[in-house]
Amino acid sequence: MSDYLVKALGFNGQIRAYAVDTTKTVGEAQRRHASWPTASAALGRSMTAGVMMGAMMKGNEKITLKIEGGGPAGPILVDSDAKGNVRGYITHPQTHFDLNEQGKLDVRRAVGTDGMLTVVKDLGLRENFSGQTPIVSGELGEDFTYYFAVSEQVPSSVGVGVLVNPDNSILAAGGFIIQLMPNTDDATITTLEERITNMEPISKLIEKGLTPEQILTYILGDENVKFLETMPVQFECTCSKERFANAIVSLGKDEIQEMIDEDGGAETQCHFCNEQYIFSKEDLEQMKKEA
């Protein structure tokens, strides 16, 4: 079954909620980057948060997340949109450590805790909206929770998780975001805090086969959830040979001539999907004319 995301309201509109299964999406990223388990967990958690934040957008709006915690895995970059498309990369995908004290993948050690989480929203306006908060945990769920509270002033709970198979492939991945609306009463907040504190890790629920709807029902309660819509989710890269060609043309004819003289061609690679695009000497000669 394909990955998908569900949007819902809870407790008579007091709660806005999202849940997503990203197992195949994160699996595609792992395959493209040949990432090792700790790096896969860090990238997968970031992409899962990213696709849910993308689902909060409208129309052709886009969102970019940058996580720079100073850890050995290096910066993580994620792009997503309002249609369930997401792509991401981690600078050092072959990063892995022994399990932490809780017996889990040591994402905090890979990401680091000395740096910033940056969110850039392209709303189709002249200026992009940008928000930035310090990385407070490195586990990423808490870091996105902190971002929503501080940068967007929306009290939220963000859960993201990834389980990795012994062969490095992805066993389960997914997440949830629960957000309080301004009219949320104290009893509802207390109920939610108890349920979220006592629930199993989100990746375990997905491994057990729970759907995004069942996850939100599990958190909010059967009688308190109203589902609004579902949307397919997938790894989708916007790169193309044409885009790389335009970028080469923009370098100018002198630099293109240098490529022809030194290499007799050009080879480019997309950071996000690792797709390679080869340009022959003839291609570069044509681009030089355009430049």
**pLDDT reported for residue 24:** 98
Q: What is the pLDDT of residues 103-118, one digit of tens each?
A: 999 999 999 999 999 9
DSSP three-state, residue 7:
strand
- Say what the pLDDT of residue 291 is: 82
Max CA-CA distance within the chain? Answer: 72
What stretches of the chain show up as alpha helix (H) in DSSP? Answer: 23-33, 37-54, 107-111, 141-151, 186-198, 202-207, 212-220, 241-250, 253-263, 281-290
pLDDT for 207: 97
At 44 the pLDDT is 98
Interatomic CA distance for residues 242 and 46, integer angstroms: 28
| Residues of the chain predicted below pLDDT 70 | none
Positions of CATH 3.90.1280.10 in the chain:
241-290
Q: CA angle, corner 210, sides to 103 and 192, nearest 5?
A: 75
Q: Closest Cα partner for 110 from 175, 168, 40?
A: 40
pTM for this entry: 0.92
Determine the pLDDT at residue 124: 83
In CATH terms, 241-290 corresponds, of 3.90.25.10, 3.40.718.10, 3.90.1280.10, 3.30.450.30, to 3.90.1280.10
CATH 3.55.30.10 placement within the chain:
4-235
> What span, in angstroms and rounded, lies between the C-alpha atoms of 187 and 170?
38
What pLDDT was estimated at residue 127? 86
CATH architecture of 4-235: 3-Layer(bab) Sandwich (3.55)
